[in-house]
Structure 1
């Protein structure tokens, strides 16, 4: 099915901050957020706390300098055994590369990341600009996640939920297509984390699929908020992770995007709160470990396009447990 320019729902967070939780303004936005996530799984956030200057620096000199680094330098980041954790290089059939800062909100993560790529002293500009962006986006992510918890009526779960979260900051560069046709450069998939906040600048590419199969083209210069499978499972299916992809047009320009995402910590078991499970809402997903699911997803045969991999994985877990109970 073709892509449509239908406008994605915009929700205005201008002037909102966590300390306004419970106000009339907060409750109004909370209702809009929950309606969008329950029906679509995504929306576009209007958020003016991130300055134009910060975005211009990020999408200008900062990302250009980052991706201009030699391949052998960027490959230094691949010291982790976790799939897609740090650096994803270009490869046959894949015309993009990405770099990710794990635990991005911690005091030393961004400076340690920069020290590896720009030894021995790091990169002051990168640290300042990236750090400012991460801090401002953390406020937006926390607001949206808090609103979901409140709307679900499980506020008493907030403290434990908050302690379970870690953040990632991912930067990607896509080559322009070399043929006259539009090219899907990132195949259809669902995110596996809690939520992703995707920003693309001066160019289209991100497309999100609705429940009836339509592909909506995300506008540039916006914050696209997308539910991940972890939140889908934690909410017992009350919100759903939408399929999305990147489809490049032949505009002879590179495309850059930045993603700020929230994740459950590796040791966490993802399970819907008891308040969300009853006769009318039976448990949809068997409890699972986030790190183990990620390993399954990126193993041979784990991920398959247009497949509900989370449901398949939870079914696999249940099957293994049942097998283990047999005499």
Structure 2
């Protein structure tokens, strides 16, 4: 499928001060239609300066990924899929993560910079903040639009602001290990609330719609995907987006930046009572994000067609719903 087939929503000129305006409602309607028909969309969003993107995907990424392994390992986490992820057999990519867990996102970026460059790197700090600041607002706008579109905006502050954290992850891909299929990352669904992927002057990201067709995302845009946590929270009204990375040639290198949100470990993920009705009975039992992440990487989850259902799907009679 051509990348032009991916629904695109124009967020130019929008910010959180525009909530409830005509242009906000227009964009919200397009977002909900795209999620209902495809399960994903991309956005036109021109607030991140070109010089910031050129630096983050060019010389600053070169500096970051060329650091010694022992330096990058300083961000390794004891939690699955957090911190530094090194290249492994069969997956020729590595990634570094900045968790926005401090009182200020800028403090989180500074903490990361201090680990990577003890003597400082003000250019990286400034450029990453320039990107993250706009991505934070974009992600919050989309999340709010979706919650409003579901008709449960009264739960937004408690469930979708106070109970969540964000992170930025930088990816660096080499030539794929599978030279026949050119698959750099196999099909999967993210466990979080939402993921935004930005590709700069490169492509490779592919997203699968509800009918099983694969769409190739275009460069220089944010592709928006739903995670399993949002599927559970919405009681199945949203569906987690299968996606993969397929390279165009064996000489190609690829970089991307992912921006995502997740529920805090201590918060229980459960659908608001307004979304549980006779026509839409409860699909997933309440669960904690960190416990589900551990399950997803366990032997018990291997081979499961739908780990989320296996972990917390509601049984009715002899059948698993959802």
Q: Please tell me the TM-score bracket, short chain as reference.
A: over 0.9
Residue in 2 that maps onto 1:22: 20
CA contact (8 A) 2:40 2:241 kept: yes
The SS at the match of 2:95 is: strand
Normalised by the length of structure 1, the TM-score is 0.91
Specify the alignment match of 2:241 in structure 1: 242
1:108 paired to 2:107 = yes
Q: Contact 2:90–2:177 at 8 Å: present in 1 too?
A: no
What SS does the corresponding residue of 2:105 show, helix, strand or coil?
coil
List runs of 5+ in structure 1 lacking aligned partners. 320-327
Q: 2:320 is matched with which residue?
A: none
Aligned to 1:252: 251
Query: Which residue of structure 1 lines up, in the alignment, with residue 121 of structure 2?
Result: 123
**Counterparts of 2:178 and 2:297, CA distance in 1:** 29
Question: For the residues of structure 1 that align with 2:244 and 2:7, how far apart are their CA atoms?
Answer: 18
RMSD (Å) for aligned C-alpha atoms? 1.9
1:82 aligns with 2:41: no
Equivalenced residue count is 313
Q: Does the CA contact (< 8 Å) of 2:177 and 2:184 recur in 1?
A: no
Aligned 8 A contact 1:209 1:244 in 2? yes
Residue 46 (structure 1) aligned to one of 33, 44, 47: 44
Q: Is the 8 A contact 1:4 1:214 kept in 2?
A: no
Q: Does the 8 A contact of 2:91 with 2:177 survive in 1? A: no
Distance (whole Å) between structure 2 residues aligned to residue 68 and residue 245 of structure 1: 25
- CA positional deviation for 1:280: 0.8
User: Is 2:68 the counterpart of 1:70?
Assistant: yes
How far apart, in 1, do the equivalents of 2:184 and 2:25 lie? Answer: 39
3-state DSSP of counterpart to 2:271: coil
CA drift at 1:303: 4.6
Residues 281-320 of structure 1, C-alpha deviation per residue, up to 9 Å, x if partnerless?
A: 1011111101100111122342548x211111114x989x
Asked whether 1:280 is paired with 2:279, we answer yes
1:222 aligns with 2:221: yes
> What does 1:1-327 correspond to in 2, within 5 Å?
5=3, 7-78=5-76, 80-103=77-100, 106-119=105-118, 121-161=119-159, 162-177=161-176, 181-250=180-249, 252-304=251-303, 307-315=305-313
Report the CA distance shift for 1:45/1:303 in structure 2 as closer, same or farther (over 3 A).
farther
Deviation at 1:251, TM superposition (A): 5.1
Taking the aligned partners of 1:301 and 1:183, their CA distance within structure 2 comes to: 29
